[in-house]
Amino acid sequence: MIVVGAGIAGLMAASDLQQRGHRVLVLEHNHQAGGLLSGMRRRGFYFDVGCQSFEDMGIVFPLLEAYGLSDLARFRRARYRIVMPGLDAVVESLPQIRRAFQDAFPQSAAGFDRTFALHERTSELIRHLFTPDRVPYVRNESTLGLPRFIAQALTPAGWASPTRLVRQLQDLRTWLLTDFTDWYERELPPSGVRDLLSRCGYTRMNVFVASAFWHLWAHDYWYPEGGLQPWFDRWVERLRERGVRFLFKRTVTATEKRGDRVTAVVTRRGERFEASEVVYCGDYRQGVHHLVGAERYGSREIARLDAARHSDAMVSVYLGLDVPAEELRDRLKTSHVFLFPTFDCRTAIDPRDPDAHCKAFLEVTAHGIADPTGHPARSAVVLQAFTRHDWLDGWGTGLSGDPAREGGATPPRTPEYRRHKRAVAEQLLASFEKLVPGASRRVAYLEVGAPPSAVRFTRNAFGGTCGFELNWRNFPFANPLAHVATPLDNFHMAGHFTVWPGAVPTAALSGKIAALRAHDRLRSNAGRRRSALGMTWPGSGLDKTARRVGATTRGTP
């Protein structure tokens, strides 16, 4: 079998297929595994370049345990601090952070009672639903898992009274169909804090996602000690020990087909790899247009897919500081800080405004302050802010950021691109100095990752950070859980574009679902062949070896 992509979806798929007895080849566009969870080392500093920590949601850790991978890293809780005019608090629990907002903004106390009452109901629902035994396919691989999951969302245990059921149905309508901006503006009186809460966050996310973030900040963000990239490197090495083959710097650009089946995938280098089943974990629209073929879909399906908005992009500033970890710990207090310098902060930016990022709010991350093995005299810090790929003509690249439309063109590093990155770094660093005064004078290393960087290394359109926009009505598929099937019988999709809402745990789960579908297809086909020969089905493990055929050296990685 072939798995295309070595992000968390691809590695989960490869782990699952290997455990079921199949021989697996993983082809990855980048030089290393990790995707949006990868990291880098520069001049003695380590930086996580995409996600800075992740949720478990009753999915990631149970899957790692099931595949014998839970010993690859020790995970610790990632704590969050919120800093804005009038409020400075670490999120420890929902009641605690509710009181912090009410104490800071007493004129909005009743509104915060209402909003945090819903956040607590969201947290209660998540705790009830997102357990390994309830989330479909984590432990229960029955096709009835999704209907049961939905039924439990509608009538959770202990909520069977008519009053509770009415409230639950009202909440479901609010969670799924209401925009978070409209909801905050309705629930809170006019104020600067209302403006901030209603404007900052993923664009047009619905209330469920906005509310779930509060649960996650309080209870369910995690980080592997030593960094995300070392964890992924160990994961790859473990799979290699088990016989999984990895080839990096291999960009899959085409497929060969016979009828409704893929017979081989072809890389940009001109290499051709055959396999019985393919699990593709890359950008969904590229998969449809260039690998499956848009002509195999209905015109309405393609129109809806192409119209679906992608999640927001981010710009990241990687700072190596000559600041001791102890001093930085005193300033930041937690590994993650949300810094809102003014009430005028917002996610939406004017793509024509060169100073647009001056109004950005920051997520400041410094995991080294909690790592006793880090360098005692130096610190690595990542500053992240929401942005757009189309800002100032694609950050000066002249590209739209959509590889599906631009034929996979690599974003150029133009002089304008470099100037824009430096200017934004200076703007974000100026904001960071509100937390760490004088930080700009102690910079030993500085680099910037902009949306074109994310396109270059992950091939995700527009540099999107978590699949399609986090709005239920924007999701282009009827099935909310892993839209893995395609018109090609043996070509399966996985990754954060195939689930709603796209995120690390759901992407990880999609990898298992796609792998299970590929495995079941092989077992069913092999069973039919054995039945025709008068033989009985003995179990899994009949995969044909993915093999390299007629490889050439044309093209570049």
Domain extents in the chain: 2-44+54-74+227-308+469-549, 111-224, 313-463
Mean model confidence pLDDT for the chain: 90
CA angle at 37 for the pair 32 and 38, rounded to the nearest 5°: 30
Question: Per-residue confidence at 374, pLDDT binned at 50, 70, 90?
Answer: low
Question: How many other CB atoms sit within 10 Å of the CB of residue 349?
Answer: 19
518, 12 Cβ separation under 8 angstroms: no
Residue 140 has pLDDT above 90, yes or no: no
DSSP state of 355: T
As to burial, measured by CB atoms within 10 angstroms (0-12 exposed, 13-18 middle, 19+ buried), residue 129 is middle
429, 357 Cβ separation under 8 angstroms: no
CA angle at 499 for the pair 468 and 302, rounded to the nearest 5°: 60
Whole-number pLDDT of residue 522: 87
Alpha-carbon dihedral 133, 513, 77, 311, rounded to 10 degrees: -130
470-511, pLDDT tens digit by residue?
A: 999 999 998 887 799 999 999 999 999 999 999 999 999 999
- The residue with greater pLDDT, 456 or 362, is 362
Find out whether the peptide bond into 132 is cis, omega within 30 degrees of 0: no
Residue 324 CA: distances (Å) to CA of 43, 46, 365, 379, 381: 16, 15, 15, 6, 12
CA Rg value for the chain = 24
Domain 2-44+54-74+227-308+469-549 is found in CATH 3.30.1330.20: no
- Tokens 């990685």 locate to 557
In 15-100, at which residue ranges do the beta strands (DSSP E only) sit?
A: 25-28, 39-42, 45-48, 54-55, 75-77, 80-84, 87-90
- Tokens 């304008």 locate to 416
- The token duo for 431 is 């904001």
Write down the pTM of the prediction.
0.92
| CA 79 from centre of chain | 19
The DSSP annotation for 163-178 comes to: HHHHHHHHHHHHHHHS
Residue 294 has pLDDT above 90, yes or no: yes
3-state secondary structure of 553: coil
- Tokens 């029955």 locate to 142
As to burial, measured by CB atoms within 10 angstroms (0-12 exposed, 13-18 middle, 19+ buried), residue 156 is middle
297-337, pLDDT tens digit by residue?
A: 999 999 999 999 999 999 999 999 999 999 999 999 999 99
Whole-number pLDDT of residue 344: 95
Q: Are strands 54-55 and 221-224 parallel, antiparallel or unpaired?
A: antiparallel
Residue 131 CA: distances (Å) to CA of 126, 152, 392, 505: 8, 12, 44, 12
- The token duo for 243 is 């016989």
145-190, pLDDT tens digit by residue?
A: 777 887 777 665 545 567 777 777 788 889 989 999 999 999 999 9
101-128, pLDDT tens digit by residue?
A: 999 999 999 999 999 999 999 999 999 9
Residue 544 has pLDDT above 70, yes or no: no
Residue 507 sits at φ, ψ, to 5 deg, of: -65, -40
DSSP state of 35: G
Question: Per-residue confidence at 371, pLDDT binned at 50, 70, 90?
Answer: confident
Whole-number pLDDT of residue 494: 97
Sign of CA dihedral 129, 130, 133, 138: positive
Residue 515 CA: distances (Å) to CA of 98, 157, 285, 477, 486: 42, 32, 20, 20, 14
